[in-house]
Amino acid sequence: MGSGASVPQNLNKAVEEVMAIKIEDVEDYKNEVVRLRKLIKEAYDSVEKEKERQAEIARRVYTGKVKIIYQQYQELFQIDNGRINVDKIDEDYCLSDVMPGCKLALLNNISIEEMHKLEMNNLPIPFQKKFTMDDGKEVFEELYTYKDGFEPRKYTVVVYEDPAQYQLDMEKVKARIAADSNITIGGVNVERAEGCSCIEGNPCTDANKYNCKDWENRFAIAKKNGWSG
């Protein structure tokens, strides 16, 4: 059964507890009133939360436009019967062109940063299901969006690079950073104050955000380079 099944129980429990109180047994009226108000509010909030959940479910449709996010890009893509071809996302965002051999995953309404926080706390990540068709093509399935007049559902692309290609890319990045470690101003070499620390195993922070080579994926890159989290 869904989470909605517990809402009436929570409310009934609160009502029953209030009705069962005997005035002669109450020693501290003020604290008892505070406790009961909190109990009733929690029960009321659970009812309202369930109403919101049911309203959100009622808005869902499985054919329409979804917003698929990759870094700064946020494009609308068509889904049909809850499915979209993985190749369609790959081609439109040119991901395999930049990262040959990469694999794609899709997050349901959470960001990359939120995903990394879940990873670090060993919590489940809401990836969309992926299915391989008879022709070998992959599709994401069980996607949904919302009826006309509502903001399309958001999904975030996660790119997993081919390990061998990733290592080559990291070597290039390290070489580029080494080459840029000293800059010339007016004929004088000046050591640069900050650089991307992700490839050294330490995720960049806000202090050097604008020098980070891949801010959105900083935790993943640092982890691949020895960061324990």
DSSP string, the chain: --GGGHHHHHHHHHHHHHHT--GGG-S-HHHHHHHHHHHHHHHHHHHHHHHHHHHHHHHEESSEEEEEEETTEEEEEEEBTTBEEHHHHHHHTTHHHHSTT-EEEEEES--HHHHHHHHHTT----BPEEEE-TTS-EEEES--EE-TTSPPPEEEEEEE--HHHHHHHHHHHHHHHHHHSEEEETTEEEE-S----GGGTS---GGGGGG-S-GGGHHHHHHHTT---
Residue 229 placed within a domain: no
Query: Quick check: 2 pLDDT over 90?
Result: no
Residues 121, 35, single domain; the answer is: no
Query: Quick check: 223 pLDDT over 70?
Result: yes
Give the residue from 150, 180, 183, 159 showing the smallest Cα distance to 56. 150
Residues 76, 133, single domain; the answer is: yes
Residues 32, 82, single domain; the answer is: no
- Residue 137: the pLDDT is 93
Would the pTM of this model clear 0.75, i.e. be above it?
Answer: no
Mean pLDDT of 211-226: 75
Distance CA(21)–CA(141), nearest Å, equals 52
Of the three residues 59, 82, 97, the one that is the final residue of a domain is: 59
Torsion angle defined by CA atoms of residues 190, 196, 202 and 203, in that order, rounded to the nearest 10 degrees: 140
Query: Quick check: 182 pLDDT over 80?
Result: no
- State how many domains the chain has: 3
Residue 173 placed within a domain: yes
The model's pLDDT over 111-139, given as tens digits with 9 standing for 90+, comes to 988 988 888 888 998 899 999 999 999 99
Residue 123 placed within a domain: yes
Residue 80 placed within a domain: yes
149 confidence band (pLDDT: 50, 70, 90): confident
Residues 84, 44, single domain; the answer is: no
22 confidence band (pLDDT: 50, 70, 90): low
Q: What is the CATH number of the domain that holds 119?
A: 3.10.20
The model's pLDDT over 47-59, given as tens digits with 9 standing for 90+, comes to 888 889 999 999 9
Residues 113, 72, single domain; the answer is: yes
Residues 122, 203, single domain; the answer is: no
Of the three residues 15, 41, 59, the one that is the final residue of a domain is: 59
194 confidence band (pLDDT: 50, 70, 90): low
Check residues 84 and 224 and name the one with the higher pLDDT: 84
Check residues 121 and 164 and name the one with the higher pLDDT: 121
- Residue 185: the pLDDT is 35
Q: Give the structural domain span for 204.
A: 164-224
Residue 186 placed within a domain: yes
